[in-house]
């Protein structure tokens, strides 16, 4: 099976198969398609990703604070339920 001009991705079509080119003329290489992303595009994508990450970090902090408050409230509630009634509490139930 013989290679076709289109089977060689890194050479331009004009440089493949031309027999009358001068020896000092170099073949022109195409830039690979996958590597054409620019630094600006990378920065935009990074900024788009960083925004939701920062939002999630803030939500995590708020949820941790809420958890600490709930644990404190639950401890207070349990200590109130388990302590023996005081004399003032007994007089209210009479």
pTM for the predicted model, two decimal places: 0.43
Q: What pLDDT score was predicted for residue 44? A: 92
Whether residue 39 contacts residue 55, with contact meaning beta carbons closer than 8 Å, is answered with no
Q: What pLDDT score was predicted for residue 71? A: 94
Give domain limits for the chain.
7-82
Helix, strand and coil in the chain, % to nearest 5: 60, 0, 40
pLDDT exceeds cutoff 60 at 93 = no
Q: What pLDDT score was predicted for residue 66? A: 96
Q: What pLDDT score was predicted for residue 4? A: 52
């Amino acid at each position: 099976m013989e290679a076709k001009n289109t089977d060689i991705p890194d050479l331009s079509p004009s440089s493949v198969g031309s027999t009358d080119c001068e020896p000092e003329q170099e073949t022109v290489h195409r830039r690979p398609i996958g590597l054409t992303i620019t630094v600006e595009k990378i920065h935009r994508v990074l900024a788009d990703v960083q925004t939701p990450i920062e939002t999630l970090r803030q939500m995590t902090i708020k949820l941790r604070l809420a958890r600490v408050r709930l644990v404190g409230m639950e401890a207070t509630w349990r200590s109130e339920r388990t302590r023996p009634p005081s004399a003032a509490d007994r007089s209210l139930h009479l």
